[in-house]
Chains A and B, each alone.
Chain A
Amino acid sequence: MAEVQVKEDSGKGGKVRSKKHNPRVDMTPMVDLNFLMLMFFMFTTTFSKPNVMDLGLPAKPKKDQKQPDTEIKLSNSISVIIGKDNKVFYHQQDQAGLNDATLMETTFDREGIRKVIEQAKAGAADKDLFTVIIKPTDDAVYKNFVDILDEMAITKNERYGVTDIKPWELAIYKKKVGE
C-alpha cells in the first residue's frame, strides 16, 4: 500500500531538479509489529499470575495456657474424613454411635459432599455455630484437601477445622475401605 509515485513530467526538460521525496513513510509494517508485540505482552501478563486460596491455621496452644473448650455438639457439626482414591466419608456420630452403617461415603462432586454439608447445615440446631470438621487420613492427597476447602468456600461455611483423625474413626474407615 505504498504510495504510488507519480512521475512528474514537466515536459520542459533540461534543468535537472533534485527529486522530491515523499515525506510520508509507510507505517503499516511497524504497526503490524507493534500489535504483535502488544499481543504477546498482554497475554503473558494476564496468564502468569496464579490464583491463591487463603488458609489460616489455628495457633498451637501454649503450655501454660488453658486449652479452650473445643467440644462441639454432634448435631451442630459434621465430620468429613478424606480417604484414599478420592474417597470421602462423613458422619455425625460420636465414638459409641459410629459403625460401618453410620459412616457414609460420598463423592467430591456437586451432588455429593456439597449436598451433604448443606443438608447437615439445614438440620443443625444453631446454624451460626455449625462446624465442619475436616479429618484427612494419611492416604489423602493434597488435591482432596484443597477440594474440601473449596467446598467450604462454596457452601459459605466460615466455621471449619482441620484435625487429625481419631483412632476410633480410623478403625471404622479402614474397615470401610477394606484394609
Chain B
Amino acid sequence: MTLLQATDLTRSFRLPGPLFGRPRLLHAVAGVSLSIAAGEALGLVGESGSGKTTLGRLLVGLLPPSSGSITFNGAPLTGPHRLIQMVFQDSAAALNPRRPVGQSVMLPLRWNRRLAAAAADTEARALFARVGLAPENFFARLPNALSGGQRQRVGIARALASSPSLLIADEPVSALDVSVRAQILRLFAELAAEHALASLFITHDLGVVRAVTQRVAVLYRGRVVELGPTAQVMDTPRHPYTQALRAATPIPDPERPRLAPPRPPEAQDLPGCPFRARCPVAVERCAIAPALREIVPGHWAACHLAQPSDGAEGAISPGSRPR
C-alpha cells in the first residue's frame, strides 16, 4: 500500500543575481516522482548539491514545493503532519540548547499527541529507555552534556513520540563515529520493525543504504537518475553516475583493484542529461534529457544507454577498469 506519493516535485530557490535583470534560479529539486510503501525503508542517495536535503524537507512538509504534489495516506500534504517525523543530521542543532533533552521529547507528546503533562512525562521517560538512554541519568541534561550518539538517540525518541508512520532521516549517522554509527543504525532497524514504520534514509553513504534499505533512489542534480531494489542497484548499477559513485566508494579491502577516479564535476552543465559533462560514455543522443525508464522489472534508470543485460555497456561498472 502506498503511504506517500510524490509526483513531479520541483523546488527552486532564487539566487542572488545581478543588480539588474532577472534573478537566477537554482532548481534544487527538478521533477522528482517517488513513492514510499507502508513499512518500507527507501534510501535516497546523493552527493552535495544533489538536492537530497531539499527533497527531504519537501516530503516532511517543512518546505512547500514550487510545483508538483505530495499525497500522504491518500490526502494532499500541505505542511507538517503528525505521522511524518524527521531525524536530523546535526543532532546538536536539532535540540533546543537551553532545554533539558527530556522536555524536547515531551514537546510532540504535549502538542501532537495532546497528552497532559504527567502522561507526557511518563511516556517520554519510556521512550528514553527504549532508545537506550536511562531516563534517570539523561532526562534532565542539556544537549551539550550528551555525546553525539546520545543526542541522536534523543532525536529518535522525539521522532517516535509523535507515533509516526513515516520517518525521514537526513544523514542521521554521518556525523557519528564508526562504532557509534552501527549502534544507531541497529536501533533504527529495530524500531522500524517494532512500529511498522516506513522510513526514508537520506545519505551520501552507499554502505548505510545497503545496510538499512530495501529500495534506493539515486539523486543527481535534483533528479532521480536510478531507482530500484538496493542490492540490485549496488551490484549492477545501470546509470553511469551510480556506477561512478559505486566505483569511487572506498571499500575496506586493500586487495581490491584500484579504479580510475571519476571525472570531477564541471562548473557548467551541458543541456540534456544532467550527468553528460562528466559521463565517460556520453553520446550525441544525451543532448536530449533521458527520462526514467524501467530497464528490468522494478529497476529504473534515466540513461539512454542503459540495457537490460547486466550493467551498462562500456561504462565504469565496479571492478571493470583496474589501473
Binding between chains A and B: no
What residues of chain B have their CB less than 8 Å away from a CB belonging to chain A?
none
Taking Cβ atoms with an 8 Å cutoff, the residues of A that contact B are none
